[in-house]
Amino acid sequence: MAGRLNMIGMAAAIVGVAPPAQAQSVAELQRQIDELKAQVETLMKERQRSEQPPLAAAPAETPAFTAAAEPVVTPAARPDETTAAAIPVSAAPETPASRPWFERLQLRGYTQLRYNGILSGDTSAPDGLSRLRSVHDSSINEDGGFSLRRVRLVLQGEVTDNIELYLQHDFGTAVNNQSSAEPRQGFGQLRDAYVDVFLDKARTFRLRFGQSKVPLGWENLQSSSNRIPLDRSDAINSGVPGERDIGVVAYYTPERVQRIWGQLKKDGQKLFGNYGAFGLALYNGQGTSRVERNGGLMKVAMATWPFELDGLGTAFQGQVLELGGSAMLNRFRPEVRSGGASAIDYREERVGVHAILYPRPFGIQAEWAWGKGPQFDTIAQRIATAPLGGGYVQLTYDLGETAIGTLRPYGRWQRYRGGWKAATNAPRLETDELELGVEWPLMDSLELTLAYARMKRREADERRLGRAEGDLIRTQLQWSY
């Protein structure tokens, strides 16, 4: 500022000593003073710029911007035509459709290797009498040995923001030899092939099209890779052996339920999967990989709701109780021993309830079902619609980390009286079974289950009567990938 005043003073002195002959008008003097002021301001700005540290040069491919930078308007441009380099452009949010296919789709699966050791019991019997057998595990027999119970491979992923696909094959399926009843192992069978269409951004509503699990019973929906006991119970699984059919399902899952299930999953609880808090479905009604035999459709409805019990006191802190039920109406044609499927439709009516107190650390799980379905009448020697009923009660305790790893001991008792529609002639089952075991994750993706089972069963063959009994040690090694 002082320099500026000095220069103005010098200009005034020069003007003041000019000869009279060269005297200038007041206007001319004012013009010269204004020019001097402009020159002084220009000099001051150049000095300020020379005193500032130089800015680091930005990479050639990335223009540098400052937070306070204003759009630069060229003289020839209109006010709304700012230069592209002056305005940072934020990246668009990534969506499933914008990612390459190998990032949108996931390939995973699991394999179960089993060995059943029969300690005692009716492993064999004369014709007409039941042998110790299970409808869930064909390797329970007098020959025993190792078996691959499941060899699953799953392809799933998001196609767009509101469409997901799911495809699952099982390569541990057995089929009968064409020339005899001797089974052949290791064949592939389609288990799931469906697409989910979400109708809102919160994903509370969705429609499922294709072959998928039937929402009839909590245990039926739970994945075999996630279930603690080795097999599903006879009573609950008898409604939909194989758990799947082809059809359309509408699921609704409120955000509150999604939050509770999400927290349970984060805590390592073994859920049944998000099949909706409420579900309505229409299916063919003949079961997994079976051709539809009549013009009717199977109708299924399910509801389940988790309740947080924190409000009941400190003893219930963190506990979740889930309650629900399901129902089914159907017309079914079982396979008959003379060949093919029955020409008669048999009425099916089922209703079931379930209750799960998730193990934190102690848990209880129970289901029961009642209804009517096809069943072979040994007196009349024909199939008829007959009453059925049964269920199970399961206790679980999560020991958490121990000296040998995480352990989850369990005990389950089950009972069933009714037909098994998936077998030839829909034979009657009479099951009473106690299973005690422990699930032992050896390491990530490797899990061992050891169990003792006391079985009393009627064999799923209408030509054999009575019930077989036996004691078994059952083992399963599961690895996931």
Please give the pLDDT value at position 51: 59
Please give the pLDDT value at position 50: 61
* Helix (H) or strand (E) segment spanning residue 14: helix 2-16
Beta strands in 177-255 (DSSP E): 183-198, 205-213, 244-252
Please give the pLDDT value at position 77: 43
- Burial of residue 116 (CB within 10 Å: 0-12, 13-18, 19+) is buried
Both tokens of 190, joined, read 């389609």
Q: Which tops the pLDDT comparison, 96 or 407? A: 407
Query: Buried (b) or exposed (e) across 146-166, using 16+ Cβ within 10 A?
Result: ebbbbbbbbbbbbeeeeebbb
Query: What's the half-sphere exposure (Cβ side, CA atoms, 13 Å) at 432?
Result: 4
Q: What DSSP character marks residue 387?
A: E
Contacts of 399 (CB under 8 A, 6+ apart): 361, 406, 407, 408, 409
Distance CA 93, CA 447 (A): 39
Mean pLDDT of 243-267: 96
Mean pLDDT of 173-194: 78
pLDDT-based confidence at residue 445 (cuts at 50, 70, 90): very high
* Percent of residues, the chain, with pLDDT higher than 70: 83
Question: Concatenated DSSP letters for 251-303?
Answer: EE--HHHHHHHHHHHHTT--------SEEEEEE-SS-TT----SS--EEEEEE
Does residue 254 have a cis peptide bond before it, meaning omega lies within 30 degrees of 0? Answer: no
Residue 346: closest CA among 306, 300, 301, 383: 383
Average confidence score pLDDT of the chain: 86
Contacts of 312 (CB under 8 A, 6+ apart): none
Which phi and psi angles does 289 have, rounded to 5°?
Answer: 60, 25
Please give the pLDDT value at position 85: 40
Please give the pLDDT value at position 209: 98
Q: Is the per-residue pLDDT at 336 higher than 50?
A: yes
